Homo-oligomer: A and B are copies of this chain.
């Protein structure tokens, strides 16, 4: 009985996070209400504060969920070979829900944004993954590993932006090959 209750609770939480992620992507964070989210999830509105405290707590859960999806791709379960991070990033930007990162970026760069810190953590985590894979001494003279990392993570962010705006103008496979050719050594 207790186990079933826990499962139901976890399922409610999962449905609310999924509904919020969809609505934040469609309408933006500020324009989305608890009523919208509860309706989309098919769950009582009163349960949202119980799960997440407030709307910011729910947004944090959404971003943590997406961040987790990104980072578990980089660090697979024990025994499995890690996937190639560039392949994963290029697959990730094609997912419909990834548009959310562009929508919320606009709110993250506002003065006193409550989600700036989440974006800072997300970008830092991505840079850390890339930085760990750059062999010392493999870069052009004058290029620091940190700067090269900002450039590579930036390329993926900015390719995503261009592709969302005009998919017909951006050949993601060809760009994937072009980014691959920049990497100093080995696959990824």
Which candidate, A9-17, A45-53, A65-73, A98-106, is the interface stretch facing chain B?
A98-106
- Among candidates B28, B111, B158, residue contacting A154 with C-beta atoms closer than 8 Å: B158
Asked if B123 contacts A177 (CB within 8 A), the reply is: no
Asked if B165 contacts A154 (CB within 8 A), the reply is: no
Q: How far is the CB of A173 from chain B (nearest CB, A)?
A: 9
Main secondary structure of the interface of A (DSSP, over half): helix
Judge whether A23 is part of the interface by a CB distance below 8 angstroms. Answer: no
A residues adjacent to B (C-beta < 8 A): 26, 28, 30-31, 99, 102-111, 116, 119-120, 123-124, 127, 139-144, 146-148, 150-151, 153-162, 164-166, 169-171, 174-175, 177-179, 181-182
- With contacts A116-B165, A165-B108 taken as known, whether A175 is within 8 angstroms of B159 at the C-beta atoms is no
* Nearest opposing residue in chain B for A140, CB measure: B181
Q: How far is the CB of A69 from chain B (nearest CB, A)?
A: 20
* Nearest opposing residue in chain B for A116, CB measure: B165
Contacts of A155 in B (CB 8 A): 151, 154-155, 158
Asked if A151 contacts B165 (CB within 8 A), the reply is: no
What CA separation (Å) do A75 and B174 show in the bound complex? 29
9 A–B contacts, CB within 8 A, in A order: A26-B110, A99-B109, A109-B161, A143-B181, A144-B178, A147-B177, A151-B155, A154-B155, A154-B156
Asked if A171 contacts B147 (CB within 8 A), the reply is: yes
Contacts of A156 in B (CB 8 A): 154, 158
Q: Which of A155, A156, A157, A174: most chain B CB closer than 10 A? A: A155
Asked if B99 contacts A103 (CB within 8 A), the reply is: no
Further pairs besides A146-B174, A154-B157, A154-B162: 20, Cβ < 8 Å = A28-B28, A28-B106, A102-B106, A103-B109, A103-B110, A105-B161, A109-B161, A109-B165, A116-B166, A120-B165, A120-B169, A140-B178, A140-B181, A142-B181, A147-B174, A147-B175, A147-B177, A157-B158, A157-B162, A158-B161
